[in-house]
Amino acid sequence: MWRDEAYLLDMLLAGREIREFTQGKTFEEFLHDEVLQHAVMHLIEKIGRAAEKVSSEFKASHPEIAWDEVAAQPHRLAPERFRIIPQKVWEAVRDGIPPLIARLEPLVPPEKG
């Protein structure tokens, strides 16, 4: 379905932007850069919103992606909406985004991603 493809592309591009923005950064640098924190959080929210919209049929055919976890991620990282938990966001950047990118890349046609 073309919509699923569009949502996957959104997720992949947002993940790659997070990787680009945080590449070479330390947690200390991230902690002291509120603009970077908010940019990363915005992209994580974008990934979560797109994951929610992927069809249940597509999700069922690709259990290698923890769809519910990806969709819920923004709520865990900023439970009070405007209060980001930097340590948890950094852990998501370090431990969650690279494997998500790796799982999404084969699902997005090369000419689009």
What is the spatial distance between Cα 81 and Cα 9, in angstroms, rounded to a whole number? 25
What is the tens place of the pLDDT at every residue in 12-54?
999 999 999 999 999 999 999 999 999 999 999 999 999 999 9
Between residues 112 and 5, the one the model is more confident about? 5
Give percent of the chain above pLDDT 90: 80
What is the spatial distance between Cα 80 and Cα 98, in angstroms, rounded to a whole number? 26
* pLDDT, mean of residues 66-95: 86
- Burial letters 5-25, b for 16+ CB under 10 A, else e: bebbbbbbbbbbbbeebbeee
Cα angle 32, 41, 65 (rounded to 5 degrees) comes to 130
End-to-end alpha carbon distance in the chain: 16
